[in-house]
Every structure is written in C-alpha cells, then in structure tokens.
C-alpha cells in the first residue's frame, strides 16, 4: 500500500502517538454528567485540546465530544452538558499533536458491538498499537481514527468472549504499553491500570457514588473523598451492587512514571501516596544541596512550573525567593511577528523579566526540566538582557535524554538537548548560563521518598532520564509501519 492510497488530506498521518490525557468517571449519581464536567476542569492541565463526555441514562448513551477547553465545551454558557443525562458518565481531556487533533479522535470512543455498547477513555500509549492496527485492517476492520482507543475497540468487537467485561479483558491481554483506562457499559463502570502501573488512576467516593479519576485534585473539586489508588494490573468493575476487584494480567514490577512528580501532575494532587508540591519542593532542596550557587543574590523561578522547586532551593540555600520573571497568564496565543523581528518574542509573549529586581544581581534560575533547550537559552538571555550580572541555571530533574513512549508527549530523542549533548558543560555553553546543574537521579529518587535508585530494578519508570524502557516497544522495533492511517473518513 503506497502512502498515496492511504492518506486523506483531511487526516494527515499522526506520527506522534504519545498522548497526555486525563480521565474521570462517575457511577451512581443522578447528575453524573455535570460532576464529570467539573472533574475534567480540574484535570485540564492533562489535556487542553479537546474534551468529551459519554453518559448513559438507562435508555441510551449520550455523547458530547468537542475541541476546546472544558469550560468552553461544558461550561455554563454551553448546553452540551444538559444532554448528558443519567447517573453514570465517563469523560476525557486530551492533548494532541497537530495531526491528531481531529474531532474523530476525541475520546471517549463508543461502539455498539455484538454483546452491547461500550464507551472507553484512556490515558497512556500502547506500544503495539500500530502492529495490531495493521493486523486488524488485513482482517477487514475499517478504522476511522488513529487512536489507540479504537484499536482496543476493534479488539473488543472481534472478541468471542461474553459478557462485555470479559471482551475488554480479552482485548487488553493483546495490547502492550502504558494505560489507565476507564470503560462504561449500560450497567458497569470499569477501571484498569496496566500491569506496570505507569499512569495514575485513583478511586473516590461521593456519597454512594463511585469515582475514577486520573488525579485526586479532581476529587477535591466535587468534594469527593479519596479512597485509594487503583493498583497496577488491577481491574475494578463497579455496578449497582458495588465494586469488584480483579487481577486478570500476569504480574509485573511496579513502574510508576516519575515525571508525574517532576512536571505533569498538579501540585495539589496526592500521587501514589505522595503530595506532588512536597515532592517538587524536596527536589529543589536536593538540588540546593547538590548544586549550590555561592555568591548568588536570589532564587528566581521560571513560572509557574519552576516555583515549588525554587521555593525548596531558596529554603535549603537560605537565599531569598523573588518573582524575577512575571508570567502573562493569557498564554497559548501566538502572534504574527513583525518582519523586523523582536528578540525572543516567543518567550516574551509568556514571560517578562522584572527588571527592577534583576538589575545587577546574581540569580539562581530554577526550572523543572530542559527539553530541546531552545526556550531555556532564550530565558537565560532574557534575564541577562534585563540586567542580571550572573545566571546560574538549576534544573529540578536529571537530563532528559530519551523520548517517552508511554503517554507523555516528548519530542523525538534527536531533538532533546541532553541527547544531542552528553556533557553538562556543553549544554551550559549552549544555553549561555554562568553555571548549569541538574538534580542527580539519586537526588530525584530521594526527593520522592526512596533512599536512592535501585539500578537493577528501578522503583519508577524513568525512561526519559535513563533510557531504560520497562515495557517492550513493539511498534518501534517493528518500524511501526503498520500504523499507517486507515480510515473510513468522516468530515467534521
């Protein structure tokens, strides 16, 4: 099959499968749809591109899936939420790279299969989705999206098991990768985490209703109580008779994503038993001990993600914490640049140096991570242009050397600064800081409560820092070529 035969121009092939997402499900509250809308709002940081909710009202499934922020799609001014009748509902927020931002890819996905109807939303990324996709197309399956979720749905449709929960287990046994998945049928809400437990999923209760959520901050917004984390490899089935727990998969070593602590989760969430804000502050403290900046005048965070670590650094170092960079909260907008270009406009749209504070000072600048390095370079230059005498750059994570294939959107390894440059000194030269330091791997592990990294059997998935991938990358090793677009195309 040539490329020409397989690609509609309206649905360019999406070569980025990594998806950041958030999921939220409610079972047993008469206003389940409205509660899911609020939960998704609290999970908005996990996906800003689109939001979808499917509810079941005892008679039919109701679905609303739209591009945009949760508040725009399901907020007061929008009647969509009124359609989401019923006491059980399932929602999803989605981040997506350009090609995949089509409405057809918005979750939850839904299908009628021979055993009944099922809706599915998931956070994570399957590492053999392309291989399965190719196999299914050869067997006559017609795909309408490039999403992992649809691959799972086709596996369910073709499963010979019954009832639908058995079909789901049958399908999941064939997939590889990282996922926290919530499914809903007419009578059940089902939550599953992959056997390694890479992505988070928590259980809550609001009165008699059960909640499944990516993070605890979404329980807080609706006033629900946090019950426990869903365990790696656990599948819970919630019905009107209560919750049943299953362990359908072969056991695997636990590998929670350490990057959730570094950047991804919201600071007020409890993740795997630990407060994220505390973890970040502790990383800053470790960093201050490992990489002090003698003679510096103040600690300045790159807002907002660098703030907790900068507070930790300031506290451990005794240096004052100052808002030396002010963030414009109306971010996400881009402008046409004048042809007589403005120096570092991209950074300036979001950040402005607080000149009065920076002038003549030696500054410790704290950020959560360095990805491509281009933004870091511009921020250092912007701070220096504003008059800072010295800029000591401190990073609250180890060097990011490898791409994530388990659900966090990272560039190809070749674009990562720490992949291109192996030495910290080389990176320092590139970003033109007076000094540069990353927290050590052991420092990071200490900050999240370990005595250090167990190198033979690491306690977390830290593939982005170590390059050690705990789950097989079937598509990557197989050239991933099977994941060519195959669509019964639908125009939005």
Which residues are known to be catalytic? Answer: 21
The footprint of a copy of itself on residues 285-324 (CB under 8 A) is 304, 307-308, 311, 315, 320-323
The DSSP 8-state label assigned to residue 20 in this structure reads -
* Tokens, residue 336: 């046409």
**Shortest distance, CB of residue 427 to a copy of itself, whole angstroms?**
27
Query: Residue 454: CA atoms inside 13 Å, Cβ hemisphere, count?
Result: 11
CB-nearer residue toward a copy of itself: 30 or 467: 30
Residue 174 as a binder of a copy of itself (CB under 8 A): the answer is no
**Shortest distance, CB of residue 193 to a copy of itself, whole angstroms?**
23
CB-nearer residue toward a copy of itself: 151 or 397: 151
CB-nearer residue toward a copy of itself: 104 or 428: 104
Residue 362 as a binder of a copy of itself (CB under 8 A): the answer is no
The footprint of a copy of itself on residues 424-463 (CB under 8 A) is none
How distant, in Å, are the alpha carbons of 39, 42, 100, 218 from that of 222? 7, 9, 31, 7
If one counts every other C-beta atom within 10 angstroms of the C-beta of residue 241, the result is 8
Euclidean distance between CA atoms 50 and 179, whole angstroms: 19
Residue 227 as a binder of a copy of itself (CB under 8 A): the answer is no
Q: Which residue, chain included where needed, has tokens 């656990």?
A: 234
- Give the binding range for a copy of itself (CB under 8 A) out of 338-346, 365-373, 436-444, 470-478: 338-346
Per-residue x/- track, 5-24, a copy of itself (CB under 8 A): xxxxxx--------------
What stretch of H or E contains 88?
Answer: strand 88-94
CB-nearer residue toward a copy of itself: 67 or 238: 67
Out of 343, 423, 426, 479, point to the residue binding a copy of itself (CB under 8 A): 343
CB-nearer residue toward a copy of itself: 112 or 425: 112
Task: Give the rounded distance of the alpha carbon of 484 from its chain centre.
Answer: 24
CB-nearer residue toward a copy of itself: 304 or 429: 304
The footprint of a copy of itself on residues 179-218 (CB under 8 A) is 185-186, 217
**Shortest distance, CB of residue 102 to a copy of itself, whole angstroms?**
10
Q: Which of 279, 367, 405 is nearest to 20 (CA)?
A: 405
CB-nearer residue toward a copy of itself: 276 or 436: 276
Residue 225 as a binder of a copy of itself (CB under 8 A): the answer is no
Out of 15, 337, 429, 472, point to the residue binding a copy of itself (CB under 8 A): 337
The footprint of a copy of itself on residues 461-490 (CB under 8 A) is 484-490
Residue 109 as a binder of a copy of itself (CB under 8 A): the answer is yes
CB-nearer residue toward a copy of itself: 45 or 446: 45
Q: Which of 291, 298, 308 is nearest to 391 (CA)?
A: 298
**Shortest distance, CB of residue 111 to a copy of itself, whole angstroms?**
4
Euclidean distance between CA atoms 407 and 187, whole angstroms: 29
Out of 161, 166, 221, 243, point to the residue binding a copy of itself (CB under 8 A): 221
Euclidean distance between CA atoms 393 and 432, whole angstroms: 10
The footprint of a copy of itself on residues 123-152 (CB under 8 A) is 137-138, 140-144, 150
* Tokens, residue 488: 């019964």
Out of 18, 46, 92, 154, point to the residue binding a copy of itself (CB under 8 A): 154
- Cα distance between the two ends of the chain: 26
**Shortest distance, CB of residue 85 to a copy of itself, whole angstroms?**
8
Euclidean distance between CA atoms 53 and 63, whole angstroms: 6
Out of 357, 361, 453, 483, point to the residue binding a copy of itself (CB under 8 A): 357
Whether residue 190 is preceded by a cis peptide bond, meaning omega within 30 degrees of 0, is no
Euclidean distance between CA atoms 144 and 19, whole angstroms: 18
- The site that binds a copy of itself (CB under 8 A) totals a number of residues, namely 124
Query: Residue 110: CA atoms inside 13 Å, Cβ hemisphere, count?
Result: 21
**Shortest distance, CB of residue 257 to a copy of itself, whole angstroms?**
20
The footprint of a copy of itself on residues 252-291 (CB under 8 A) is 266-268, 270, 275, 277-278
Euclidean distance between CA atoms 302 and 393, whole angstroms: 10
CB-nearer residue toward a copy of itself: 404 or 447: 447
Euclidean distance between CA atoms 397 and 113, whole angstroms: 45
Do you know the residue count of the chain?
492
Q: Which of 439, 476, 477, 444 is nearest to 461 (CA)?
A: 444
- Strands laid side by side in the 362-367 sheet: 298-301, 362-367, 390-395, 435-438
Per-residue x/- track, 60-99, a copy of itself (CB under 8 A): xxxxxxx--xxxx-xxxx---xxx----------------
If one counts every other C-beta atom within 10 angstroms of the C-beta of residue 59, the result is 9
**Shortest distance, CB of residue 436 to a copy of itself, whole angstroms?**
25
Residue 329 as a binder of a copy of itself (CB under 8 A): the answer is yes
């Amino acid at each position: 099959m040539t490329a020409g035969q397989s690609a509609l121009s309206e649905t360019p092939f999406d070569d980025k499968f990594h998806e950041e997402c958030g999921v939220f499900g409610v079972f047993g509250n008469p206003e389940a749809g409205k509660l899911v809308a609020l939960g998704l709002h609290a999970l908005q940081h996990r996906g800003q591109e689109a939001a979808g909710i499917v509810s079941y009202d005892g008679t039919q499934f109701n679905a609303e899936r739209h591009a945009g922020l949760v508040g725009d799609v399901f907020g007061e001014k929008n009647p969509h939420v009124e359609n989401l009748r019923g006491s059980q509902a399932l929602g999803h927020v989605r981040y997506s790279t350009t090609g995949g931002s089509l409405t057809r890819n918005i979750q939850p996905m839904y299908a009628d299969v021979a055993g009944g109807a099922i809706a599915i939303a998931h956070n994570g990324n399957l590492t053999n989705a392309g291989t399965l996709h190719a196999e299914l197309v050869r067997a006559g399956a017609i795909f309408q999206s490039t999403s992992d979720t649809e691959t799972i749905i086709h596996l369910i449709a073709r499963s010979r098991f019954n009832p639908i929960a058995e079909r789901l287990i049958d399908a999941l046994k064939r997939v590889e990768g990282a996922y926290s998945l919530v499914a809903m049928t007419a009578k059940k809400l089902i939550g599953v985490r992959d056997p390694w437990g890479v992505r988070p999923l928590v259980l809550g209760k609001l009165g008699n209703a059960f909640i499944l959520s990516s993070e605890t901050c979404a329980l807080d917004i609706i006033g629900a109580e946090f019950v426990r984390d869903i365990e790696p490899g656990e599948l819970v089935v919630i019905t009107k008779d209560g919750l049943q727990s299953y362990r359908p998969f072969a056991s695997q070593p636990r590998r929670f994503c350490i990057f959730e602590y570094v950047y991804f989760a919201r600071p007020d969430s409890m993740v795997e038993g630990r407060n994220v804000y505390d973890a970040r502050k502790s990383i800053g403290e470790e960093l201050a001990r490992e990489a002090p900046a003698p003679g510096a005048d103040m600690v300045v965070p790159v807002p907002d993600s660098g703030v907790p670590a900068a507070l930790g650094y300031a506290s451990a170092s005794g240096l004052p914490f100052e808002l030396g960079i002010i963030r414009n909260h109306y971010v996400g907008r881009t402008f046409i640049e004048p042809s007589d270009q403005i120096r570092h406009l991209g950074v300036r749209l979001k950040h402005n140096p607080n000149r009065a504070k920076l002038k003549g000072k030696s500054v410790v600048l704290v950020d959560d991570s360095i990805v491509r390095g281009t933004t870091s370079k511009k921020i250092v230059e912007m701070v220096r242009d504003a008059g800072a005498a010295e800029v000591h750059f401190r990073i609250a994570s180890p060097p990011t050397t490898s791409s994530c294939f388990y659900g966090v959107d990272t560039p190809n390894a070749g674009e990562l600064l720490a992949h291109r440059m192996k030495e910290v000194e080389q990176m320092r030269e590139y970003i033109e800081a007076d000094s540069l330091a990353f927290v050590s791997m052991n420092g990071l592990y200490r900050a999240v409560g370990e005595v250090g990294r167990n190198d033979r059997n690491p306690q977390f998935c830290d593939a982005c820092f170590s390059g050690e991938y705990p789950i097989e990358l079937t598509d990557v090793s197989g050239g991933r070529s099977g994941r060519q677009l195959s669509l019964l195309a639908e125009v939005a």
